[in-house]
Amino acid sequence: MASLSAMGYATNYIPCSTSFFPKKPPQFNNRRRNPVVKFTCKAKNGETSPGKFDRRDVLLGLGGLYSTSLAANPMALANPVFPDYKNCIDATQPNKTPINCCPPPVDPSRVKDFFPSATTVNIRKPAHSFEVGSDYYKKYTSAIIKMKNLSPSDPRNFRQQANVHCANCDEGYTQSGSPKLFYSVHNSWLFFPWHRWYVYFFEKICQNLIDDDTFTLPFWNWDAPEGMQIPSIYNSGLTSPLYDCFRNPEHLPPTVIDLEWSYGEKPVDPKIQIENNLSTMYKQMITQSKTPSDFFGKAYRAGDDTPDVKTTAGQIEKTPHNIMHSWTGTSDDRSNPVDLGALYSSARDPIFYAHHANIDRINFTDRDWLFTSFIFYNEEAKPVRVSIKDCLDITKLGYKYEDVPIPWLDAKPKPRAKAKTLPSAPDPAQVFPITLDKPINVIVKRPKKSGTGSSEEILVIEGIEYDRRNYVKINVYINEDDVNACRSNNTEFLGSFSNLPHGHQMTANGSTKFRISQVLEELGARDYDKVLVTLIPKSNPVKINGIKIEFEDS
């Protein structure tokens, strides 16, 4: 019999070793610990009336609620991107060695189109609402055990499911029709719909294996205080099928997650951390996500270069999505970021699916990419082709999310200090291009607005060049004279740029942007003709080619 690998199946399963010691991946410097911070109290009142969030409500269809009208308004897409599923190639681990993580090859003649048409709707609930040992826990663990025990060549096998993620997210495929271009479902507008379908079929497989079509996956409600640690069902002992040994040992319960975590940072006071996290959510979902492409990344069509070689992800994919990956994962005994810490291995940790259920919960939708399609193996191990347009209404997929509170709506960041004396700093032309190996300050001129239309000022950091196989994080501040005093819940901290290790050897040449009109207003700097920008590298040096401020029509 041909070996599994000769048949195109991945066989190099790395077992978790009990003698494993987390080491710091070699490519990071721990530049600094979390700043020493003082606890400041509550948000001012009057800024949290529901009316303030109309825009968010329009844009963000929590759980897809706002998406149904789009399905009725299909627009033909000239060029949907599609991977060449027939030819799966090795992915790359962050330590630069190739890894075969190809799921069983798809035979195109067997693929059937699938249109969801559920008649009952199950509710996905927060993972922290379940107890170890409960009936739900028993069902869930039994589904995962059964999945892990399926034949290694069964596409529904737990490791093969993880391989589906690896091949699609770590460039195991090239684009159909463009064999020189790698295909990827990260760092573009494919991120949300692809992961929605992926979690959907994973859930279907669970239902099928335990013969219970009411079973749902839980969501990791990391955007609410009760969900801000690894839920206990995932941490109930080394032998639990929901446990994964490649999680950062410093981040096990009761450590509170840090949605702006950088490698090497130590946990801070939980109360402060929760406040910071809520403000991070506010920043990412409200301050920085005003248009569809802010929210979920750029268009990606047939013939486009691999996402993130030229473009970047949407705000939510970077933070909190990427950060939750790096916060949860760790490195293996070869100092290789692994499991949640890198894209190729992420879905080996069962908590991945709860993480992505939460991303799915805060999904939103827009037209245009409706006709892009993907192939998955369904619960009967048959290949099915699905389109983005068919996943917009999640009730047709047979699930929705429990209506939990959204506490970050009230967590608007506050200026750390008004009326600071800003240090003088060089002009970008004197500084860039630069290899960012230490913090830098620059003074950026604000352009004059032409015309009278309403437009918004955008700070653009351009030409960010890095090896995509490396962990990357850069924190960005505006008009801040003391970054050590500045927390994630301060307005001066604009946010970060991040990369999760993935893909083949290619240099990303991305840019990242921050909306600053509202921020400058809140910092009392509306009339200044210049701003101070501080960049703090939190990873290995990254080359940056420039910074500018431009206007974007709003």
Closer residue to ligand C2O (CB): 288 or 326:
326
Closer residue to ligand C2O (CB): 156 or 321:
321
Closer residue to ligand C2O (CB): 197 or 399:
197
Closer residue to ligand C2O (CB): 166 or 476:
166
Residue 321 within binding range of ligand C2O, rule CB under 6 A: yes
Q: Which of 196, 325, 468, 515 binds ligand C2O (CB under 6 A)?
A: 325
Q: How far is CA 260 from CA 60, 323, 420, 474, 488, in A?
A: 22, 6, 24, 10, 7
Residue 259 within binding range of ligand C2O, rule CB under 6 A: no
Quote the least distance from Cβ 124 to ligand C2O, whole Å. 17
Task: Count the neighbouring beta carbons within 10 Å of the beta carbon of residue 405.
Answer: 12
Structure-block tokens of residue 442: 């620059």
Quote the least distance from Cβ 356 to ligand C2O, whole Å. 6
Closer residue to ligand C2O (CB): 90 or 275:
90
Q: Are 165 and 198 in contact (CB under 8 A)?
A: yes
* Residues in 390-449 that interact with ligand C2O by CB under 6 A: none
Closer residue to ligand C2O (CB): 195 or 513:
195
Q: How far is CA 434 from CA 5, 438, 537, in A?
A: 44, 10, 12
- How many residues at the interface with ligand C2O, by CB under 6 A? 9
Quote the least distance from Cβ 245 to ligand C2O, whole Å. 19
Torsion angle, CA of 514/517/521/523, rounded to 10 degrees? 20
Quote the least distance from Cβ 321 to ligand C2O, whole Å. 6
- Cα separation, 427 vs 442, whole angstroms: 6
Closer residue to ligand C2O (CB): 373 or 491:
373
Quote the least distance from Cβ 489 to ligand C2O, whole Å. 24
Helix (H, G, I), strand (E, B) or coil at 493: strand
Closer residue to ligand C2O (CB): 210 or 472:
472
- Cα separation, 503 vs 490, whole angstroms: 34
Structure-block tokens of residue 401: 């999310």
Residue 346 within binding range of ligand C2O, rule CB under 6 A: yes
Closer residue to ligand C2O (CB): 247 or 414:
247
Quote the least distance from Cβ 473 to ligand C2O, whole Å. 16
Cα angle 149-192-73, degrees, rounded to a multiple of 5: 125
Of 263, 280, 188, residue with least CA distance to 494: 280
Closer residue to ligand C2O (CB): 56 or 356:
356
Residue 358 within binding range of ligand C2O, rule CB under 6 A: no
The residues with which 386 forms a beta bridge, in sequence order, are 374
Q: Are 191 and 185 in contact (CB under 8 A)?
A: yes
Quote the least distance from Cβ 92 to ligand C2O, whole Å. 15
Q: Which of 165, 247, 290, 416 binds ligand C2O (CB under 6 A)?
A: 165
Q: Are 159 and 152 in contact (CB under 8 A)?
A: yes
Closer residue to ligand C2O (CB): 316 or 431:
316
Q: Which of 164, 169, 464, 523 binds ligand C2O (CB under 6 A)?
A: 169
Residue 468 within binding range of ligand C2O, rule CB under 6 A: no
- Cα separation, 79 vs 286, whole angstroms: 31
- Cα separation, 309 vs 413, whole angstroms: 32
Tokens 């291009």 map to which residue? Answer: 433
Closer residue to ligand C2O (CB): 309 or 444:
309
Residue 318 within binding range of ligand C2O, rule CB under 6 A: no
Q: Which of 56, 146, 159, 186 binds ligand C2O (CB under 6 A)?
A: 186
Binding pattern for the stretch 6-45 against ligand C2O, x by CB under 6 A and - elsewhere: ----------------------------------------
Point out the residue whose Cβ comes nearest to ligand C2O.
169
Quote the least distance from Cβ 352 to ligand C2O, whole Å. 7
The strand ranges marked E within 298-417 are 330-331, 337-338, 373-377, 383-387, 399-401
Residue 354 within binding range of ligand C2O, rule CB under 6 A: no
Question: What phi-psi label fits residue 96: left (phi over 0), alpha (psi between -120 and 50 degrees) or beta?
Answer: left
- Backbone angles phi and psi of 60, in degrees to 5: -100, 110
Residue 533 within binding range of ligand C2O, rule CB under 6 A: no
Quote the least distance from Cβ 322 to ligand C2O, whole Å. 8
- Backbone angles phi and psi of 356, in degrees to 5: -75, -25
Stated length of the chain: 554
- Cα separation, 52 vs 46, whole angstroms: 10
Quote the least distance from Cβ 343 to ligand C2O, whole Å. 6
Q: Are 520 and 467 in contact (CB under 8 A)?
A: no
Quote the least distance from Cβ 355 to ligand C2O, whole Å. 6
Q: H-helix or E-strand containing 293?
A: helix 292-296
* Residues in 194-233 that interact with ligand C2O by CB under 6 A: 195
Q: Are 22 and 248 in contact (CB under 8 A)?
A: yes
Return the CA Rg of the chain.
23
Residue 502 within binding range of ligand C2O, rule CB under 6 A: no
| Interface with ligand C2O (CB under 6 A) | 165, 169, 186, 195, 321, 325, 343, 346, 356
